Structure 1
């Protein structure tokens, strides 16, 4: 795993480290609901021991004592396990050619994390110039770095050509810039074209839309990523006639619309069909590599779990009833409303997503059947995939401390548990309407006897967990939000001028800071005062 620096690495307990290779443990949805949690393993990296939550061999309470609260924690071993499972799952189903996992850097671009992935032989899907810098420093092979996204500015494109990484073209405007950069630098730019195939065989609702029920095929078509067929063909014809630009592959990425394997089967059918159309229009072009993107769900899938599509109807009925009872007087009205509110309770998703192995089987089986039907020769064809949330999601947890408890008893009953974190440190999850699984890290063996809103520290409502079951909670207890390794820490903001928390990487029984806790000085480091505002000067 590599040495850890003596200044930040610490031992969390004396247990020996568990081997990470060949793990077959999967999460079971009944791991804690309505039961006392005795010592047991929750998944490959989480366990409970003596009423405490452990990540790998580290007691989470000891991590808080050493590194402070709140705290993001990542498991190095779980990241490695996830990568290896994806590699084996897809390679076993794709004997035709090599398989390469290119985890999406956007999901977790912490440099230490990217070094782990580079060490595992992965490639890297990058979006921004900053992510490209991280990928280059981590040591990924240049030919396995895919620069994606729209728009790409000129400097980003020129640098990508100079570094010899793959450019995945996602706008018509990019090609001329790429061609000019290749000529100026005397290099060959190797590019892929990003398709947007219509997933006409999958019309179930998309989890991307929390506002209402939208068919997945429509939601995928209106998303900004990917090129229309006519644009792809026009670009492809130009590239095939260009000097200094080589078309090496075809790419697609629709993202996490639905957790099912059937979604992936239909997506691969659509991709193969569109790929065949493009290659036929390009005179029988055969790609050297195809990239199916990402969007694979993690086991305790929190994506859009906070959304209840019937909720507007329920709230509308409650409002109408409440308004109609005004004539009864406030006491009678609140009595009825209180009884209705007492029935409200939320639960995280309790249906596990398909395994990585199931995703691999569905994708490779479908591609091997469909690609030859559309004229694509799979012999020697490299298959690439870009899992982000599935690599990092269940490798991370977030620990926060209970700071206050507020209980309303009249005229309705409502409890708030206030913790020292905030939704502004889970921006990605708020956009995706996550509802994370959770437990209290110092009371994993306590029964769930109450319910409460768990709220954060910002001046917003900051409703982290809406009306969820809780044990008997006290100030000083530790909340653990699970599956926070992807898109959360890397999307934090400084709302309310709050310094952002630290991130610790656990490796077996050792822990090291990989992103330090911010100070107030860090928060204001970019701010400048114009000269006329310095020294308390007032303007008219």
Structure 2
């Protein structure tokens, strides 16, 4: 059975998460419904932090909030002593509203606006990850105007791209993100940052990919970065106080996925950084990483109510649900694959292979193709696993479908942390073109 965290089958044959029956959750909050196993998020966060603590290496584990950003999730990250990675003014605003410690906020993005940077400076966040020359100059200009300084990392592209089991050493040179490490751009950015009197350069950042199941890519990236840092040490007397090796640590969406434990990712990254430090006789930098999906992905389950069926003899059986690409666009965008169960009859015998269709008016709105399930009826509850990352975060109102609510489950208690959108919410920004006539 494909379960994560506290998920199990209870004595009624229902899927249970954190001690709460999913059938009861659907009755109370409706469907579609995002359900998060809070204890699993805590377990994942503590796994990364403990790996660094056990090594004695100074580090920051920053939650990459683009995976799932709400006030409650940001507060949970603070509870676990994480730092926070934001990539927009909206994510920064959410962090501020959640009263997250500003000194532990890192701001990413390839096109930060003047207004977003002013917000970051106004709230005195901990670090800005600079992505391009325009941004570097803009930060200096804003800091001069308001008489402040800002700590920054330079995002570099080391020429390493890693996805699942494959990695190549040229793909990332063509990227919309960062300064190229090999063609002189990164060195030019380094010199400019060192020259600017309102910028405190902490070090370098890189991100090599996502859903990574091995450590080779991180090791190769670290080697390339340290080769360049050695040049800069000898030429410019510059040493990196911080090295941020990004995130991208994989999770298990299906039984074909085989991610590593947090401790293995961390221990091998630390070992390589220490090896390079000794090789080039440098100071040991503080190591930062940015797990997002690996903290929340498999902690999330989406509940749907099954509606209509369509059977095409000798071809396919379609089972339709009351959500789809409006609450999980990943299958349509990336052909992402998921596992699912009928939550109110988990132990029932598998009788048919069906394809799960979303309700949006698009032929591409297919959540799962060809999954073996028990025979389902209208009103049954479908639970789709591992939807905690980039489900709610990428939810939309296509076809004017309201976005689902979010519930946190911990120790047998359910807490609503995002309410369901209403039809009234959908039109609250709309303006009528029909003039009102005053009698």
Q: Which residue pairs with 1:185 in the alignment? A: 146
| Offset, 1:428 | 4.3
Secondary structure at 1:293 match in 2: coil
Quick check: 431-440 or 508-517, which moved more?
431-440
Q: Which runs of 5+ in 2 are unaligned?
A: none
Which residue, out of 291, 309, 324, partners 1:387? 291
After superposition, the Cα gap between the structure-2 partners of 1:64 and 1:389, relative to the gap in structure 1 and judged at 3 Å, is same
| Offset, 1:424 | 2.3
Secondary structure at 2:421 match in 1: coil
| Offset, 1:215 | 6.1
After superposition, the Cα gap between the structure-2 partners of 1:268 and 1:69, relative to the gap in structure 1 and judged at 3 Å, is same
* Distance (Å, rounded) in 2 between the aligned partners of 1:137 and 1:376: 40
Which residue, out of 236, 240, 244, partners 2:198? 244
* Distance (Å, rounded) in 1 between the aligned partners of 2:265 and 2:93: 31
Q: Which residue pairs with 2:130 in the alignment? A: 169
* Distance (Å, rounded) in 1 between the aligned partners of 2:232 and 2:262: 30
* Distance (Å, rounded) in 1 between the aligned partners of 2:138 and 2:341: 51
* Distance (Å, rounded) in 1 between the aligned partners of 2:85 and 2:113: 17
Q: TM-score, normalised by structure 1?
A: 0.76
Instruction: Tell me, yes or no, if the aligned pair for 2:128 and 2:153 is still in contact at 8 Å.
Output: yes
Q: Which residue pairs with 1:463 in the alignment? A: 366
* Distance (Å, rounded) in 2 between the aligned partners of 1:373 and 1:430: 46
Which residue, out of 310, 324, 327, partners 1:406? 310
Which residue, out of 371, 383, 386, partners 2:277? 371
* Distance (Å, rounded) in 2 between the aligned partners of 1:59 and 1:495: 30
| Offset, 1:257 | 5.8
What are the superposed Cα offsets for residues 73-105 of structure 1, whole Å, 9 maximum, x if unpaired? 112222111110111123334x2x322110111
Aligned residues: 432
Q: Which residue pairs with 2:300 in the alignment? A: 396
| Offset, 1:371 | 3.3
Which residue, out of 65, 80, 83, partners 1:120? 80
After superposition, the Cα gap between the structure-2 partners of 1:46 and 1:219, relative to the gap in structure 1 and judged at 3 Å, is farther
After superposition, the Cα gap between the structure-2 partners of 1:448 and 1:222, relative to the gap in structure 1 and judged at 3 Å, is farther
Instruction: Tell me, yes or no, if the aligned pair for 1:423 and 1:430 is still in contact at 8 Å.
Output: yes
After superposition, the Cα gap between the structure-2 partners of 1:392 and 1:442, relative to the gap in structure 1 and judged at 3 Å, is same
Instruction: Tell me, yes or no, if the aligned pair for 2:4 and 2:299 is still in contact at 8 Å.
Output: no
Secondary structure at 1:423 match in 2: coil
What are the superposed Cα offsets for residues 378-422 of structure 1, whole Å, 9 maximum, x if unpaired? 1xx32111000001101110000111222222xx34211111111
After superposition, the Cα gap between the structure-2 partners of 1:463 and 1:429, relative to the gap in structure 1 and judged at 3 Å, is closer
Instruction: Tell me, yes or no, if the aligned pair for 2:229 and 2:239 is still in contact at 8 Å.
Output: no
Q: Which has the higher strand share?
A: 2
Quick check: 351-360 or 474-483, which moved more?
351-360
* Distance (Å, rounded) in 1 between the aligned partners of 2:343 and 2:242: 45
Instruction: Tell me, yes or no, if the aligned pair for 1:53 and 1:444 is still in contact at 8 Å.
Output: yes
| Offset, 1:66 | 0.9
Instruction: Tell me, yes or no, if the aligned pair for 1:250 and 1:275 is still in contact at 8 Å.
Output: no
What are the superposed Cα offsets for residues 308-357 of structure 1, whole Å, 9 maximum, x if unpaired? xxxxxxxxxxxxxxxxxxxxxxxxxxxxxxxxxxxxxxxx4434211112
* Distance (Å, rounded) in 2 between the aligned partners of 1:79 and 1:288: 29
Q: Which residue pairs with 2:169 in the alignment? A: 217
* Distance (Å, rounded) in 2 between the aligned partners of 1:268 and 1:514: 39
After superposition, the Cα gap between the structure-2 partners of 1:173 and 1:351, relative to the gap in structure 1 and judged at 3 Å, is closer
Which residue, out of 245, 248, 263, partners 1:292? 245
| Offset, 1:240 | 1.9
Residue 360 (structure 1) aligned with residue 266 (structure 2): yes
What are the superposed Cα offsets for residues 452-509 of structure 1, whole Å, 9 maximum, x if unpaired? 1111111112211111111122222111111111111111111111111111111211
Instruction: Tell me, yes or no, if the aligned pair for 1:293 and 1:384 is still in contact at 8 Å.
Output: yes
| Offset, 1:116 | 0.7
Instruction: Tell me, yes or no, if the aligned pair for 2:211 and 2:249 is still in contact at 8 Å.
Output: no
| Offset, 1:513 | 1.1
Residue 258 (structure 1) aligned with residue 220 (structure 2): no
Which residue, out of 457, 466, 482, partners 2:385? 482
1:9-408 alignment, distance < 5 Å: 31=1, 42-50=3-11, 51-93=13-55, 95=56, 97-165=57-125, 166-199=127-160, 206=163, 216-229=168-181, 230-256=184-210, 258-281=212-235, 283-298=236-251, 300=252, 302=253, 348-378=254-284, 381-408=285-312
* Distance (Å, rounded) in 1 between the aligned partners of 2:139 and 2:209: 26
Quick check: 216-225 or 109-118, which moved more?
216-225
After superposition, the Cα gap between the structure-2 partners of 1:487 and 1:276, relative to the gap in structure 1 and judged at 3 Å, is farther
Larger Rg: 1
Instruction: Tell me, yes or no, if the aligned pair for 2:49 and 2:61 is still in contact at 8 Å.
Output: yes
Which residue, out of 419, 422, 425, partners 1:519? 422
Secondary structure at 1:140 match in 2: coil
Secondary structure at 1:175 match in 2: helix
Which residue, out of 428, 431, 437, partners 1:528? 431
Q: Which residue pairs with 1:23 in the alignment? A: none
Q: Which residue pairs with 1:432 in the alignment? A: 334
Aligned-residue Cα RMSD (Å) equals: 2.2
Secondary structure at 2:406 match in 1: strand
What are the superposed Cα offsets for residues 50-74 of structure 1, whole Å, 9 maximum, x if unpaired? 3211111111111111111111111
